[in-house]
Structure 1
Amino acid sequence: MAAVVTAATVGFGGALGGTAVAGAGDASGPIVTRAALDPSLVAGRGADVDFAEQEAENARTDGTVIGPDRTPYTLPSEASGRTAVKLTPGRHVEFTLPSRANAITVRYSIPDAPAGGGITAPLDVTVNGAHRKVMTLTSRYAWLYNQYPFSNDPNADLLHPDWWITECSCVPGETTPAPTITKPFRPTHFYDEQRLLLGRTYRAGDKVRLTVPAGSNAAWTVIDLLDSQLVGAPRVVPAAANVLAFGADPGGRRDSAGAFDKAIAFARRARVEVYVPPGTYQVNRHIVVDDVTIEGAGGWYTIIKGHEVTLGTPATDGSVHTGVGFYGKDASAGGSHHVHLSGFAIEGDVRERVDTDQVNGVGGALSDSTIDGLYVHHTKVGMWFDGPMTNLRITNNVIADQIADGLNFHTGVTDSVVSNDFLRNTGDDGLAMWSERTADARNTFEHNTVQTPVLANGVAVYGGADNTVSGNLIADPIREGSAIHAGSRFGAEAFTGHLAITDNTTVRSGPYDLNWKIGLGAIWFYALEKNIDADVQVAGDHFLDNTYNAIMFVSDWPVRDLYSITNVHFKDLRIDGTGTSVVSARTAGSASFQNVAARNVGAVGVNNCGSFHFPATGSEFTLTDLCGNSGGGTTGPWLAPWELPNTITCDDHPPVVAPPAPSSW
């Protein structure tokens, strides 16, 4: 019997991901995790969800464990916990249900078509050796290549041959041509997920086996994890404008957009809700909503699904496609108010990133509104809001497999809350506040879970005033960002007032940045276009199993003498494992530290480069010890007296020491 792959082994791996034959991983019972960790390590953090997460590497299998690996462009690096199970035809992985369940979600990857565009392949699902169902997996929504904003074509030449080989447009263009590349160049965004109602309720201890049929056309199938849950009966809303009465087709054969419009118009006149009963409804454009409540039978039963449609001429906002989505009116037209959406799934058809396209699950400007209990899948951005707008509450949603962000508050969103939402496999920031032109203010992101953002950050705040990021769980950011980020960039208004980052947990974060070729911090501050000098309070956070640093301050080289980061205060933190340092400072500025406990620190506790002038007076970045700081690593206390207040300890590429797995404090 092979050993169980636990959090202890989900550390560092080779560039291609090592392989090992897996065995009876759950012989002692099912292993339920949260972000591939023992749930006790993240208690009280992240979303309270109604499903149980089980990693494939902890299950019984005759397949092969791939990983652990944190190197971008590899299958294990984008897996939850950086480890998965690879099955060839005829092989299986078997999960033991930890509790009663009648529905599962499988996160998987299968190969792309040789010329791109994806393939389909079967996966057999049996319970206790019977009750066979067949899932049809697809890679049509996975597999991107090349430079930002990426291509679906594995044989494409460089999209920007005049750039240095960098990850995105955030690095200025250069005149030196890039070298010849090997194709496919930089494959990424490997995974997708699919849901299945099992048709009956099974008990704890029953065995769910996923088998790749012997005749599968997929050379391999990677299973990352299985979520199991008990889905309740469909919700019925009797005194409502039922979309069926207005001609909607629950079989999905006819486009139902017009029927939705009629139901909404009637509901507004009659002052009743719109009800969407169980079914799959074809909708291929935006449904404009204002002063209306739309309620489905539940996200597993009411599915609103559409094709991406190419527009004959570009729209005034620059869109060249449209697709399914629920949109408030534009802010320039006054926006929409009193919109309440709940209890349905939005299934998009977005397979490429076109930044001008409005092909998001929910969008526009929505004030005094709520969004609750949606499942948003395969859109560009799950929810993108263009303000100014105010008082929006977003709760209890699942957003998965997006080409770009999970959710973005863009331009003047105020007094709004995002709470208890679960996001996985976003193609850009999981949750973002972007104060472009007008500041986002007094918003809160609280108790959300963000897993495996393929590009950028788990939670990002770009400028704004008096915002809060609290109680979130962020795991496994892959590249071009980290878990939590505060950035003066992308044309954002300055940070003013306060920014509170409290009681969050991050795990397997602080990755290697492929532009700068240095390690980031699990939380990182970036002064690119303005100073960051608002009152920033970072308190009660836990930074676990950091690939490089726990905390980072940085300013880009061309502006290192223009901008600084000051007035940042850290208190009551737990840092368990850093590949390099607790703090990496690569800018001018200052920060204070109080009751920051660290252990398993791989390098010197403070890597202080300042703004790289190395004056005799010390670094341009100053650290203040407010007492109670403790712990460290092999080099001694992480915040030693000799490092204070601004000793230069600059090492551009310190050796990386893989930390042990996180454990109880």
Structure 2
Amino acid sequence: MSLAFRRPVAVAVIALSAVAVVPAGAVQAATVPTAAPAVTRAALDPALVAGRGASVAFLEQEAERAKTNGTVIGPDRTAYTLPAEASGRSAVRLTPGQYVEFTLPKAANAITVRYSIPDSATGGGLTAPLAVKAGNTSRTMTLTSQYSWLYNQYPFTNDPNADLLHPDWWITECACVPAATTPAPVITKPFRPSHFYDEQRLLLGRTVKAGEKVRLTASSAVPWTVVDLLDSELVGLPYVNLLAANVLAFGADPTGKRDSAPAFDKAIAFAKKAKLKVYVPPGVFRVDRHIIVDDVTIEGAGNWYTVIKGRTVALSTPAADGSTHTSVGFYGKYADEGGSRNVHLSGFAIQGDVRERIDIDQINGIGGAMSDSTIKNLYIQHTKVGLWFDGPMSNVRVENNIIVDQIADALNFHTGVTGSLVRNNFVRNSGDDGLAMWAEKTTNAGNTFDRNTVQTPVLANGIAIYGGKDNVVSNNLIADPIREGSAIHAGSRFGAEPFAGTLKITNNTTVRAGTYELNWNIGLGAIWIFALDRSIEADIQVTGDHYLDNTYNAIMMVSDWPVKDLYSIPNVHFKDVKIDGTGTSVLSARVAGGASFENVDARNVGAVPVNNCGSFGFTPAGSEFTVTDRGGNDGWLAPWLLPNTITCDDRPPVVAPPAPAPW
């Protein structure tokens, strides 16, 4: 089985090298725009995802649906290619002088462009201008690949010429362990390039009317520019608070030339004594370390206007938390120091300078422990993790934020986070899980991830729950996970505390989900439940989900081969679920246990609907995994009605489903 299916469309597919991209196959002619601008959500008709995902101020338009004299690349889901990491698995490649032109669906004075340009030959990135013509206004946007292009094995490297980071690991490319193989295999370099895209925002300086054009024209500074999408937005006036402690009064520099961290510390100290808020006006403020926050409110003028930006700084000796670097971030006190409370952050951007993944470093946009706190209306980019909370802590609300271009997770509730809410956040291009709860050492309980949008996580999952009790994942939109993950994942992994009580997964929509798992050589499901460290015995209730255009399976339940006779997943219930298109099966069960199905409708199924291997005992009594039909399952389950019928073929040919349509 190939890494992923390719739709039978005559388009160019991009093969990658460190500096050049070589088209293969036919070139699609310039597209003809429709009468009305094509506005999408996660490259879908918005009607298919109504009421799900984040409500945002911007409108999304896919480049492949716009007017262009460039080349449409994709759709394609093959790992380590530019189309696979694009929204909707397709984009537009421009050579110098070529353009892509969007028609604005509504008036806008600001745009965001998601793009890719080549890396330098030795890593480290390039920069290039992009000409922007919006109505009769001309601007220049500076693109960079300094924050993209990672290579090799986890935790990756910026060096395209690097040898294997782990020659003692099994790899699919040679189906071997290179260090134990004679003759040694030849590994093509750059090895496993990924994380190709970045995005850039631009205030246009005037309002461009609905129906006017925004044309993006590639420069000659780089051999190619790939444009994935355009977001357009009408940004309001800056927020002003005249009754707060203004950081300018304490020496902050809005030009970004001087380090403003000491001024922030002074403003916070004064505000706490005077019982005032802290206000950060429009400007770019350089902060190259953590700002410690406790019992304070910090407000910016809006995340388009107030930018708090920092460099990554190497430490002469490791910090107390083990970090070897520091960078911009707002941190509550760590839990072992008592944690912080009553922290309220809103209305500014945090832009880091993180270009490589160093797992011991605390260089996140938001960190530490913050109970009884709110994080709202932030834009967080180029940090390691957007928001990484180390509990125990409780009652934090994370709402209405945009978290993009992270080197690892966008948000992680790590250890002992309880009674907290993550709602209406927009996540794109995380380098690991988009949103995660990881109950390491102390359980997470009573938390909710609701109405968030997660797009194109490069590695791992859109939303992942690792252990915990009575948590909820509801009304989210998850699109285009790229590699070794699913849209929604529940896993007893990474030393997490056991699942207990209930895990409710309700009214979510996933699209183009389920990726190729390198180590197992199989495709994953849009929802993936994994018993690795222990059995998952909690009551998992999956209700009202829609799984659209699934690359492989819609549902996968699995244990790892070495523990297949030790652990099980016995208590999962699917109800009122709609599945439109699977490359392979509706359900792939590779574990002992069982699941029930009620009113689960499935259409456009590419292979046998139920792939039931159980724990591979193939006993005379049948599979160790029991499928229970509670009725209303629209015919797909009936031929496999016997509760433990063995139908084990988990590497069938992949059949590309048609595009999702109204039910």
Q: TM-score, normalised by structure 2?
A: 0.95
Matched, 1:257 2:268: no
Counterparts of 1:288-367 in structure 2 under 5 Å?
288-367=292-371
Matched, 1:598 2:602: yes
Q: Report deviation, 1:393.
A: 0.1
Identity across the alignment (%)? 72
Q: Report deviation, 1:638.
A: 2.0
Partner residue, 2:546: 542
- 1:484-505 deviation digits (Å, cap 9, x = unpaired): 0000000000000000000000
List, as ranges, runs of 4+ consecutive aligned residues in structure 1 with deviation greater than 4 Å.
7-19, 171-175
Matched, 1:83 2:90: yes
Q: Report deviation, 1:217.
A: 1.7
SS in 1 for 2:180: coil
Matched, 1:663 2:649: no
- 1:136-193 deviation digits (Å, cap 9, x = unpaired): 10000000000000000000011111111269xxx99997357331111111000000
Does the 8 A contact of 2:152 with 2:162 survive in 1?
yes
SS in 2 for 1:295: strand
CA distance in structure 2 between the partners assigned to 1:197 and 1:19 by the alignment: 37
Q: Report deviation, 1:8.
A: 9.7
Counterparts of 1:376-391 in structure 2 under 5 Å?
376-391=380-395
Partner residue, 2:645: 647
Does the 8 A contact of 2:12 with 2:27 survive in 1?
no
Matched, 1:425 2:425: no
CA distance in structure 1 between the partners assigned to 2:468 and 2:45 by the alignment: 35
Matched, 1:399 2:403: yes
What letter matches 1:336 in structure 2? S
Partner residue, 1:638: 636
Q: Report deviation, 1:234.
A: 0.1
Shift in alpha-carbon separation, 1:542–1:9, aligned structure 2, 3 A: farther
CA distance in structure 1 between the partners assigned to 2:87 and 2:615 by the alignment: 36
Partner residue, 1:439: 443
- 1:247-297 deviation digits (Å, cap 9, x = unpaired): 000000100000000000000000000000000000000000000000000
Matched, 1:33 2:55: no
Does the 8 A contact of 1:9 with 1:661 survive in 2?
no
What letter matches 1:338 in structure 2? N
Matched, 1:525 2:518: no
Matched, 1:284 2:288: yes
What letter matches 1:364 in structure 2? G
Q: Report deviation, 1:331.
A: 0.3
Matched, 1:206 2:212: yes
SS in 2 for 1:103: strand
Shift in alpha-carbon separation, 1:101–1:9, aligned structure 2, 3 A: farther
Q: Decide which moves more: 649-658 or 363-372.
A: 649-658
Partner residue, 1:43: 50
Counterparts of 1:60-99 in structure 2 under 5 Å?
60-99=67-106
Partner residue, 2:564: 560
RMSD: 1.8
Shift in alpha-carbon separation, 1:59–1:440, aligned structure 2, 3 A: same
Paired residues, what number?
647
Partner residue, 2:580: 576
Does the 8 A contact of 2:12 with 2:26 survive in 1?
no
Q: Report deviation, 1:21.
A: 3.0
CA distance in structure 1 between the partners assigned to 2:231 and 2:9 by the alignment: 19
- 1:73-130 deviation digits (Å, cap 9, x = unpaired): 00000000000000000100000000010000000000000000000001000023x3
Q: Report deviation, 1:640.
A: 1.9
Partner residue, 2:3: none
CA distance in structure 2 between the partners assigned to 1:571 and 1:531 by the alignment: 22
Where structure 2 has 5 or more consecutive residues not aligned to the other structure, the ranges are 1-5, 16-23
Partner residue, 1:624: 628
Q: Report deviation, 1:25.
A: 3.2
Q: Decide which moves more: 174-183 or 238-247.
A: 174-183
SS in 2 for 1:86: strand
SS in 2 for 1:20: coil
Partner residue, 2:488: 484
CA distance in structure 2 between the partners assigned to 1:309 and 1:91 by the alignment: 39
Partner residue, 2:113: 106
CA distance in structure 2 between the partners assigned to 1:188 and 1:427 by the alignment: 9
Q: TM-score, normalised by structure 1?
A: 0.95
Partner residue, 1:143: 149
Partner residue, 1:229: 233
1:180 to 175, 178, 186: 186
Partner residue, 1:267: 271
CA distance in structure 2 between the partners assigned to 1:174 and 1:419 by the alignment: 45
CA distance in structure 2 between the partners assigned to 1:398 and 1:162 by the alignment: 39
